[in-house]
Amino acid sequence: TEHQHVRYNPLRDDWVLVSAHRVKRPWQGQLEKPPPEDVPRWDPKNPLCPGATRATGEVNPTYEGTFVFPNDFPALQPDAPEPDDNDHPLFRAAPARGVCKVMCFHPWSDLTLPLMSLPEIRAVVDAWAELATELGASYSWVQIFENKGAMMGCSNPHPHCQVWASSFLPNEASLEDRSQRQHLSQHGVPMLLEYAEQEARRKERLVVENADWLVVVPYWATWPYETLLLPRRHVCRLQDLSDSEKDSLASVMQRLLIKYDNLFEVSFPYSMGWHGAPTGSYLEEDCRHWQLHAHYYPPLLRSATVRKFMVGYEMLAQAQRDLTPEQAAERLRSLPEVHYKKRAE
C-alpha cells in the first residue's frame, strides 16, 4: 500500500504504475468548479428538454420516459464516401460509416441516474438493450456511453447518454477482442467470467454486489475510483440479459452511483460505457470469448474540486495512479447507500 509497483491489465495488454504514496503530496494546482446545484427541472433553452427546439429546428416531443433521437452533430454518418487510395503504407485510411444517437434518461433536467427510481433506471436499461439490438443488426460495434458532468466534457445538464454505432471495431474494442480471445484459447474460460469469480471470492476490491452482478475497483484500475461492472454468469451482449438480470442491473447501478455521489457529496462526474461482443457480421461468428461489462472512469481524486490529471508521464510513458485499487474500493464500499440529498427526508 505504500510502495510503488506496476500492475498488468489483461484486457488491454498493458501496465499501470501504482504510486500510492503520491496522494499525500500537497496540492496547489487546478481546482475544478463543483457542478451547479440549481439546475432547473425544465428549461425551454435546453435542447434536451421535452418540447424544446434543438439546433436543427426539430422540436422534441413532450416525452415522459426515455427519449432517443439522432445526434444533431454526429461524428459518424451512414453515407460517408470512401477515402482516397493510399500511395504509401505510412499514410493509410479506411472507410468509417455509422450513426450517432442521443438518449435522454428522464424528462427532468435536475435528475441523475442515482436519484431516479428503480423502474426509471430499468427503463434506461431496456432502451440500451433495444438500441444495441437495433443498431447491432447493421453495425459491427455499438458504443453506449455516458459523459456525466462538465468535468467530463458534458455540454448539457440533463440526464442522457450517447450511442455511436460504427462499421468498424474501435481501438478499445479491438484490444479487448484480441485479449479475451487469447485468454479463452489458453485457459478455456472467458477472461472476465473467471475474473468476476476471483473478485467475488477475494472481496478486497468489491464495492457492491447482488445475485447477478458485482462491481469492483479492478486490480489494474487507472482512474482513482474507476469501477468495473460485471455479470456473474456468461453473457456476451446487453440484449442477452434476462428480465430479472435487467432488474438487478438497475439496482446495482443505483447503489454504485449513490456511493459515487456520497464520496464527496457532489454529483459525481464520470465517463462510463458498455463493452460487449461485436455485432453486425460478428453475430454469425463465435464470440464466446466475450463477457459483457461496463467501465466507469471518474476523474476525481482528493475532493469534489481536485481531479486526477492524465498528463506528462501518463501521456508519454504509461498510466499511473495515486492510491491503490484496494484503498479506493474500501472507501467506496464503506459509504452509505442512501443518497446524501435524501438523508434528511
Show the DSSP H helices in 159-275 as ranges.
171-187, 191-202, 243-264
38 annotated ligand binder: no
Greatest Cα pair distance, the chain, in angstroms, is: 67
28 annotated ligand binder: no
* DSSP state letter for 334: T
155 annotated ligand binder: yes
144's enclosing H/E stretch is strand 141-148
176 annotated ligand binder: yes
23 annotated ligand binder: yes
148 annotated ligand binder: no
82 annotated ligand binder: no
91 annotated ligand binder: no
* DSSP string of 94-142, one letter each residue: ----EEEEEEES-S-TT--GGGS-HHHHHHHHHHHHHHHHHHHTT-SEE
314 annotated ligand binder: yes
* Whole-number Å distance between alpha carbons of 137 and 133: 6
Q: Are 254 and 113 in contact (CB under 8 A)?
A: yes
Q: Within a 10 A sphere around the Cβ of 155, how many other Cβ atoms?
A: 7
Spatial CB neighbours of 340, under 8 Å, sequence gap ≥ 6: 261, 262, 265
Quick one: which of 87, 336, 330, 318 has its CA closest to 225? 330
201 annotated ligand binder: no
136 annotated ligand binder: no
3-state DSSP assignment of residue 155: coil
Torsion-angle region of 49 (φ positive above 0: left; ψ -120 to 50: alpha; else: beta): beta
288 annotated ligand binder: no
Active site residues: 160
265 annotated ligand binder: no
106 annotated ligand binder: no
Annotated binding-site ranges for UDP-alpha-D-glucose: 22-25, 55, 71-72, 147, 153-155, 162, 308-309, 313-314, 320
Annotated binding-site ranges for Fe cation: 176, 275, 293, 295
Annotated binding-site ranges: 22-25, 55, 71-72, 147, 153-155, 162, 176, 275, 293, 295, 308-309, 313-314, 320
